[in-house]
Structure 1
């Protein structure tokens, strides 16, 4: 959408608690605020959306343009976003679906909003489908969301596992300039997504569960310690990535293999310990 058009929509949306009138009457939109991949500045974009359980789906259609919209490029680097829907505002983790999951979600979007099929036909670019996972508030997570949150935890882990696999493929491929760009993209997306995921757990999910299950103090202490270890490893990986043009992707491999082993063990332990607690609290 043109910038001045967006500005008018955003102003009306915020003035009228998400309700639009005049030429926009009947439009159901959300406002997505992303952090610029290059500038670091916040950018707000009105978007259509489709509900998928507790998640929201948005599509990088750009009106059928051959270029991905800026907001989509932003979330690949900075996946923590702010969502405004009516009078409700919250933070979310934006995860781009891939492969068969993307295709299934796009079909669900088209079933609800057929116009997206026209946008896809207008371009050879595969329109990205982005899933917005709501980040729990820091002090309380309503019990009726905990069962769904257990499923979301595993799904976010699976997305992170997919990004690890993409990084492994990058490191195994013959070195090219294009590979270096893709390697950086995958690493930035993965590192930012993991930092957001762990930050949300440390600030909100773990304190809530620790109050509900005081006998599990050792579990939460171990998970926080693992988060610190992973954070240090990510810092080392970023440092190597900054020099990848000089050293080549192969130098990243030992550090990456160590980090991947740590994360796979961490995800498995967290799922074994936290998912049952979430389901118990929901019951």
Structure 2
């Protein structure tokens, strides 16, 4: 669809609480914002969707053309996306379905919106079916309220711990299923599966952003007021580098998703879990007490009175 048409739909959607006219009138429509796989720039695309339980499904039909749409390539590179549905806006983890699950979900989508079947008939490629899950994992250990910067940092740490647990749970389930395969035929080639890949990639990208922000902004500001903690910040910086090296190993394994050795991936994931949890424990012990009295969100400065 032309960019100008997309933009007019986006503006109408946001101005009318998710309702639009024209070809989308009366249909289920959402706005999907992805990060460019190469450009790194955000792009918003209006898309039809189908509900499936608590999740939303989107289909990479691209009107039946031979190529996947750009937004699909973007979410493979950056799995965490922004979804606007009605008046709600939230982050989601975009997970393409595979194998039998893809077939099941595509049949569900065609039943709800038969046009997807027509698009599939026009092309030889298999139309991707993407599940949009709320990005926040269940069972967070986050504070009930975030009133201080310490609470905010703890919230981020809890999110990272939760994501890492989910990656391990899904990887273990995948490998157990592979080990239990008895035929017919040979077991599938070693693969982590797109769901594990997407969640692990989202975790690694969030962790990298968090540590980069700490190194560039948070830690230097605290160190300025607490010079006696120089050794503490040196240790934290060294631990960031160690975690980053493990991230690099995981990223390399994810890049070769179809041939990744399961045991090597498990070993790297276990190493990440050990190093990261020890690092977060130490940071919480040493740094969080210093942030307990810093309000969050930050209190905006009071503008000077006229004449001051």
User: Normalising by the residue count of structure 2, what TM-score does the alignment of the two structures yield?
Assistant: 0.55
Query: How big is each residue's C-alpha offset from its partner over 1:230-283, in whole Å with a ceiling of 9 and x where there is no partner?
Result: 7652233447999x9xxxx99x99964621565899xxxxxxxxxxxxxxxxxx
Cα pair distance change 1:82/1:157, threshold 3 Å: farther
2:126 aligned counterpart, secondary structure: coil
1:258 aligns with 2:267: yes
Q: 1:236 aligns with which of 242, 249, 261?
A: 249
2:68 aligned counterpart, secondary structure: coil
Q: Write the distance in 2 (CA, Å) between the matches of 1:160 and 1:31.
A: 34
Flag structure 2 segments of 5+ consecutive residues without an equivalent.
146-161, 179-188, 209-240, 275-308
Write out aligned runs for 1:113-262 (5 A): 113-136=113-136, 157-158=169-170, 169=190, 189=198, 191-195=200-204, 232-238=245-251, 256=265, 258-259=267-268
Q: Write the distance in 2 (CA, Å) between the matches of 1:156 and 1:8.
A: 43
Q: Write the distance in 2 (CA, Å) between the matches of 1:109 and 1:100.
A: 14
Q: Write the distance in 2 (CA, Å) between the matches of 1:104 and 1:86.
A: 26
- What is the total number of aligned residue pairs between the two structures? 208
Query: How big is each residue's C-alpha offset from its partner over 1:86-113, in whole Å with a ceiling of 9 and x where there is no partner?
Result: 1100000000110000000000000100
1:192 Cα deviation after fit: 1.6
Q: Write the distance in 1 (CA, Å) between the matches of 2:171 and 2:262.
A: 21
Cα pair distance change 1:157/1:82, threshold 3 Å: farther
Q: Write the distance in 2 (CA, Å) between the matches of 1:26 and 1:255.
A: 50
Q: Write the distance in 1 (CA, Å) between the matches of 2:3 and 2:253.
A: 38
Root mean square deviation of aligned Cα:
4.4
Cα pair distance change 1:20/1:156, threshold 3 Å: farther
1:53 Cα deviation after fit: 1.1
Q: Which residue of 2 aligns with 1:279?
A: none
Q: Which residue of 1 aligns with 2:38?
A: 38
Flag structure 1 segments of 5+ consecutive residues without an equivalent.
142-149, 172-184, 200-227, 266-283
1:21 Cα deviation after fit: 2.5
User: Normalising by the residue count of structure 1, what TM-score does the alignment of the two structures yield?
Assistant: 0.59
1:4 Cα deviation after fit: 1.6
Q: Is contact 2:96–2:195 with CA below 8 Å preserved after alignment?
A: no
Q: Write the distance in 2 (CA, Å) between the matches of 1:239 and 1:125.
A: 27
1:94 aligned counterpart, secondary structure: strand
Q: Write the distance in 1 (CA, Å) between the matches of 2:100 and 2:168.
A: 16
1:3 aligns with 2:3: yes
Q: Which residue of 1 aligns with 2:278?
A: none
Q: Give the structure with the larger helix fraction.
A: 1
Cα pair distance change 1:160/1:37, threshold 3 Å: farther
Query: How big is each residue's C-alpha offset from its partner over 1:50-98, in whole Å with a ceiling of 9 and x where there is no partner?
Result: 1111100000000001100000001111000000011100000000110
Q: Is contact 1:48–1:58 with CA below 8 Å preserved after alignment?
A: yes
Q: Write the distance in 2 (CA, Å) between the matches of 1:241 and 1:233.
A: 12
Q: Write the distance in 2 (CA, Å) between the matches of 1:16 and 1:107.
A: 31
